[in-house]
Amino acid sequence: MKQKVVGIYLAAGKSSRMGQPKLSIKLSNEERLGSKALKAAFLSELYHIIIVARASDNLEWLPAEYEEESLLKRSQVLICEEADFGISYSLRFGLGTAKLLKADAIVVMLADQPFITSEMINKLIGEFYKNPAVDYIASGDAGRKKPPILWNRSLFPRLAILGGDEGARSILLSTDYYGIVVDESLGYRFLDADTLEDLEKIKSVQKQL
């Protein structure tokens, strides 16, 4: 039986550098920033998708597909009351549910990376099926390790003690763990929207696609 890979979609950021709730910003007349990568997750081979949001979010950025019965069974929205303390709190919150689902691995995705594709997610899952003993499998931007990243359950205890906005960079930089990097040839796919300048670049790229 194939290992169970669960997605954790981190969507609980404060958007402080953007100056407004960024996930609801429209990239086009029909699509909001926070919905694009989530659609990719829905189309991927992930067993289940945990969407971690903040208490003040009205969730208007959720794609219409979320209301489909099949996706309601395959995904859930969790409200992280401690999201303001840093991204590690959102990750640990989602990880708790992934453990309850008996996940063999998780794929951590950022909601403000609109160009992530289902193919990128599936590559990580496919590598995990071939290398189930690896600690992590990261997407690579010219060799640099970036989200989305797959984490083996061997690292769940380490992820569970991350603090503040530390994220998982310390793990990726450590020589204590064995990881694989799956390079992505199109660097724009890693663009994320932290500032208004980032957002304009994303909109410019989208027009060219």
- Sequence spans of domains, the chain: 5-208
Sequence-distant (6+) residues with CB within 8 A of 160 are: 92, 95
Q: Which of 90, 5, 87 is nearest to 48 (CA)?
A: 5
Mean pLDDT of 124-146: 95
154 pLDDT band (50/70/90 cuts)? very high
Mean pLDDT of 188-194: 94
Beta bridge mates, 49: 7, 75
Q: How far apart are CA 76 and CA 94, in angstroms?
A: 10
Q: How far is CA 124 from the centre of its chain?
A: 12
Q: Are 109 and 39 in contact (CB under 8 A)?
A: no
CATH level 3 topology of 5-208:
Spore Coat Polysaccharide Biosynthesis Protein SpsA; Chain A (3.90.550)
Mean pLDDT of 26-30: 82
Mean of the per-residue pLDDT values of the chain: 92
Specify the 3-state DSSP secondary structure of 109.
strand
